[in-house]
Every structure is written in C-alpha cells, then in structure tokens.
Structure 1
Amino acid sequence: MGSIGLALLNSLDIGLLLFIIAVGLNIVFGVLNVINFAHGALYMLGAYLAFSCVNGLGMPFWLTLMVAPLGVAVLAVLVDRLMLRFVYQREVTDSLLLTFALLLILNESVRMIWGTGIHVVEPPELLRGTVLLPGGIRYPLYSLFVILAGALVLFGLWFLFNKTRAGKIMRAAALDREMAQVLCINTRLVITGVFAFGAWLAAVGGVVAAPMRAIDPGMGDKIIIESFIVVVIGGLGSFPGALLGAIVLGLIHGLGGRFLPEINLMLPFVGMAIVLLLKPHGLLGKRAST
C-alpha cells in the first residue's frame, strides 16, 4: 500500500508540474490560435534565469520565483511585437514554423550564454529534507511544495477566468475577436498580454522545476513534447483538458515508472495514441466547426 501511495504522490507531483507548463500552451492556442513551439524554450529560460539569480546573484529562491518569470514575460512581449504579430491572421502552420525558429534561436542563445554543461539549483532551506506522511510514507518536502504550487496555479487560473474582468475579456477575445473589437476591447493588448501570460506560466514551471531537474540546453525540447502530449490527451484549447491531460500523463509516468520501468518511456505515446483513436479531439476537446 505504501508503494502505491508513493507512486500516486509522484504522479500528482509530475502531473501538476506539467499542468503549470502545459496550461500556458493551451491558453495561447485557445485565445490566439497559435501553437507556440517555443513554449518549451521559455520554460528552459525560466530555469536558467533561476540558476543565475540563485547561484550567480545570491537571490533568495522566493524572490527568484517572482523575478525570473517576469523577465521571461517581458521577452515574450518583445517577441510578440517584433515577430508574432505578423502571423496572427495567417494559417496555424505559419505560427508553428515561426515559433520553431524562435525555439532554435533561444536554444543557441542559452548555449552561448550558459554553456552546454548541466547546472543545479538547490531547493530553499525551508523545503529541504523529507516529511513523514500518513501511511508511513516519507516524501520530499520540495515535492509537496510542487503539488501545492500546482494547486495554487489551478485555483488562480479558475479565479482569473471566471471571477475577473480580465479573464472574461480573454474568453471573449477567444470566442469572437471581431465582436470583442466592436465592444471596444483592445484586442491588440489582449493578444500581447495572453502571449506574455503563457510565457510567464512556462517560466514559473521552469523555476519550480529547477531544484528537481538538471538544467541543460535540451530540457526545453523534452518538456515541449510532454506538453503537447498533455494538450492532445486533454483537448487542444481546453483549460479543464490541460488539467485532465496533465493528471493522466502524471499517472502514466508515476505508476509506469514504479511498476513498468522497462517500457515507461513509451507509455506516454501509447496513452496519447489510445486517446486519439477513441477521442480524436482529446478527452475534453471540442470538435472543430466546419
């Protein structure tokens, strides 16, 4: 029973971290109709900025958690103004190709600035060590923090989209951009804000993941694959789908790594294939109108 409980906690840990990252990808697509292939690079950049802030500048982790994502969001505003605004009215494939080019640029920039080696960020003093949970499970404190961070992001996004004017404006722009303009909504500002917000979420995921995972130039490529699996399973453009897809993939990783380690690397793709066969638009995705 203890091994199953530990596997479920690991699944929740992985799933909620993936949710923090993948939900930004889903929000950007849902509002802007842009598949941001550079989303993983923005996650990676958040992790590298966390390394520089904590290890280079001696900044406390909690301050880094606010500063590093803000820096990535500012970069996203520049990218939107200088590059992406020219492809918003084009086919989705144009934005995919442009963000793929951005991915390559960011990857090479990271190699030039930080090198190709592996970097490590230590968790804050408060979250080091383990805690004994009911059932005799000893679990890392930092992993519990990741679960809490994921839950806070989930609640914050629900509150944003359902209880605030800004969230309702984003939903209106996603449903009908032309009608939003008729209602005097500054859709240009909304578009820039949504792209920056998606980048901010990716960077938050990168900072949170930094003390758990090795920081290297390939980490963005790995996470974008998992993020796409999440949105495919849950449904592209669906906020609840991002949560469901992340939990499903977390369970695949957590339980698969515990009980089927020999084939754990292929299980996410098997799960995605099964979902696509049964529900081509994802578990909570909507059929595209014709």
Structure 2
Amino acid sequence: MDLATFLVQCLNSVQYGLLLFLLSSGLTLIFGIMGVINLAHGSFYMIGAYMAFALAPYLGQHFITMLLVGVLLAVVLGYLLEWAFFSFLYERDHLQQVLMTFGLILVFEELRAILAGNDVHGVEPPGWLAGSFSLLGMMSYPWYRVFAAMTCLFVAFAMYWMVHRTRLGMMVRAGASNRDMVRGLGIDIKRLYRIVFALGVALAALAGMISAPMASVYPNMGSGVLIICFVVVVIGGIGSITGALVASLLVGFVDTFGKVFFQELSGMSIYLLMAIILVWRPEGLMGRRS
C-alpha cells in the first residue's frame, strides 16, 4: 500500500467513524439516561436519508439550510414519539421495550413504502461540494466527504460544549449517572426525557441526511447501522458520549482497514474488537464500574 492510498483509507476511516458517532451518541444518550432499548434508532437514520431525498429538489443547493430544516423536523418527530409511545415504557421491562420499538420499525418501513416506494434513490451533493481534490498528486478525495467529516466534528464539539458547559448538559450527566437522584432534586424528568429523545432522533436523522449523497437511499437501510451502533455503544460504555466518540473512531479504522488487509475476515473484525475490549473492560472504555 502506497502513502496516497494509506492516507485515503485514513480519511475514510475518520469520516466513517465520525458518522457513526452521530448515530451512536444519540443511542447511548437514550439508553443511558432513559433506560430504553430503542431498536427503532436505525429507522431514524433511514428517515433522515429519505428527508434528504424529499428536500433535495427544493433545497439541494442550499445544503446547510436543508440539514437545519431536517434536524428541526426530526426534533419535532422525536418529541412527539416520546410523548405518544416511549413515555409509557420507562417502568416496563426490556422485553416490552423491544417489542414496541420493533413494531415501530415495521410501521416506519410501511410508511416509507407508501410514501417513497421500494426503489433505490440517489441524492446529488450540492454543486459547491462537487468534485474532488488531489492527494499527493496520485489520488483524489471528494470534497463532500471532507464536508461530512467537518460537519460531524462540529456537532461533536457542540455536544461536548452542551454536555459540559450548560445546565441541560449538567442534568443529562446527572441523569446518566443516577436517575433517581435527578428525580429527587425536583427536576422535571419527563421534560428532560423528551429533550434527550428528541436530540437522539435529530442526531440519527442528521447522520442519515449527511450520508445520503455518499450512498444510495434504499429500504431497510437502518437495519445494518443499528447493529453497528449497538457495538459502538457497548465498546464506548453505555451513557458516555466521549466513549461513543472514541469507540466510533476505533470501529471506523478497524472496519475500513479490515476490508483492505483481511477481506475474508472483515465481517467479524468489529465484533472481535468488541470481544477483546469487553474482556479487558466489561463496562466499556468510558463506562462506569459497577
């Protein structure tokens, strides 16, 4: 492998890992604070991709505006879903949570089939992000992938600021550590749950919108990423956003370079990584010890 190819694979690993972070950070917040096993999280990623497909004819050249509109719609969707469905799950056992969120997957897939059909769709990147730049004079790298990585980094820094510098972040950290204590302090836990869930849905939808121009928009596209998201959450530690970032980048590098060097074993590389880390730290990289 020459230097240019190595650099391209490193950039792909970082970009893939940061995109995984958007997905897994929302999932780890929902699971760590609300205690809900949300199997429908991958569907929110799919919804984001289809929102990009639906909004592209109107806002395709104003891509940042399109992302903001999609995030606002996802926040509203998440708030309504938490009020209508998830608010009844907090005191239920995990089996009921799994059954209801799996039912939501079926509902979302049926609605997707009715509204958008079962065809595979593509989303063109905006004109100002089209093309690529040369890398060491031998290979090129798309500008849109750089934009996707920079957007994910911006969101990661914004989440860090929110979690560590705001009152909402203080409540989120307290809820992830001890939900009973948060209730005892008189904090409106229902409102906190709805905000956290809406934030998780918005992050997943944003990841879907960003990934749409890089890959096709197709049915059941959320199923595959859901499994990888759970792997990231387990590796990073449930409820830890920092752990989700570190684990996402690790998974991105292992998966990308595994497909380059060990094609026959690439399908099991991230699960082998998870097994090794869990043997070393059963609570995950940044998880709290029991």
Q: Structures share a fold, TM > 0.5? A: yes
Please identify, of 263-272 and 237-246, the stretch whose mean Cα deviation from structure 2 is larger.
Answer: 263-272
- CA, structure 1 residues 57+133, in 2 after alignment: closer, same or farther (shift >3 Å)? closer
- Counterpart CA distance in 1 for 2:118 and 2:62 is 25
Match of 1:186 among 185, 188, 207: 188
Name the count of aligned residue pairs.
288
Match of 1:264 among 263, 266, 281: 266
AA matched with 2:23:
I
Give how far 1:147 is off.
1.2
Percent identity, aligned pairs only?
A: 39
Q: Which residue of 2 aligns with 1:16?
A: 18
SS at match of 1:139: strand
Q: Which residue of 2 aligns with 1:278?
A: 280
Q: Which residue of 2 aligns with 1:47?
A: 49
Give how far 1:50 is off.
0.9
Q: Which residue of 2 aligns with 1:62?
A: 64
Q: Within 5 Å, which residues of 2 pair with 1:1-290?
A: 1-55=3-57, 60-133=62-135, 137-287=139-289, 289=290
The answer for unaligned runs of 5 or more in structure 1 is: none
- CA, structure 1 residues 137+285, in 2 after alignment: closer, same or farther (shift >3 Å)? farther
- Deviation per CA, 1:239-271, whole angstroms, max 9, x where unpaired? 111011101110012212222233322322222
Please identify, of 156-165 and 256-265, the stretch whose mean Cα deviation from structure 2 is larger.
Answer: 256-265
- Counterpart CA distance in 1 for 2:133 and 2:253 is 22
Give how far 1:230 is off.
1.0
AA matched with 2:179:
R
Alpha-carbon contact 1:55-1:121 (below 8 Å) kept: no
The answer for unaligned runs of 5 or more in structure 2 is: none
AA matched with 2:187:
I
SS at match of 1:132: strand
AA matched with 1:229:
V
AA matched with 1:113:
L
- Counterpart CA distance in 2 for 1:282 and 1:184 is 31
Give how far 1:69 is off.
2.2
- Counterpart CA distance in 2 for 1:273 and 1:176 is 27
- Counterpart CA distance in 2 for 1:26 and 1:60 is 31
AA matched with 1:109:
L
- CA, structure 1 residues 155+135, in 2 after alignment: closer, same or farther (shift >3 Å)? farther
- Deviation per CA, 1:185-232, whole angstroms, max 9, x where unpaired? 211111111001100000010110110111111210011011111112
- CA, structure 1 residues 57+248, in 2 after alignment: closer, same or farther (shift >3 Å)? closer
Alpha-carbon contact 2:24-2:233 (below 8 Å) kept: yes
SS at match of 2:267: coil
- CA, structure 1 residues 57+158, in 2 after alignment: closer, same or farther (shift >3 Å)? closer
- Counterpart CA distance in 2 for 1:19 and 1:34 is 19
- Counterpart CA distance in 2 for 1:149 and 1:178 is 35
Please identify, of 182-191 and 55-64, the stretch whose mean Cα deviation from structure 2 is larger.
Answer: 55-64
- Deviation per CA, 1:12-63, whole angstroms, max 9, x where unpaired? 0110011111110011112111121101000100110110011367673222
- Deviation per CA, 1:94-117, whole angstroms, max 9, x where unpaired? 323221211121122111211111
Alpha-carbon contact 2:237-2:286 (below 8 Å) kept: yes
Please identify, of 235-244 and 15-24, the stretch whose mean Cα deviation from structure 2 is larger.
Answer: 235-244
- Deviation per CA, 1:144-186, whole angstroms, max 9, x where unpaired? 1111112111101110011111111222233333433343321
Give how far 1:71 is off.
1.4
SS at match of 1:264: helix
Please identify, of 269-278 and 237-246, the stretch whose mean Cα deviation from structure 2 is larger.
Answer: 269-278
Aligned-pair Cα RMSD in Å = 1.9
- Counterpart CA distance in 2 for 1:38 and 1:221 is 9
**TM-score relative to the length of structure 2:** 0.93
- Counterpart CA distance in 1 for 2:268 and 2:190 is 41
- CA, structure 1 residues 107+178, in 2 after alignment: closer, same or farther (shift >3 Å)? same
Alpha-carbon contact 1:5-1:137 (below 8 Å) kept: no
Alpha-carbon contact 2:61-2:127 (below 8 Å) kept: no
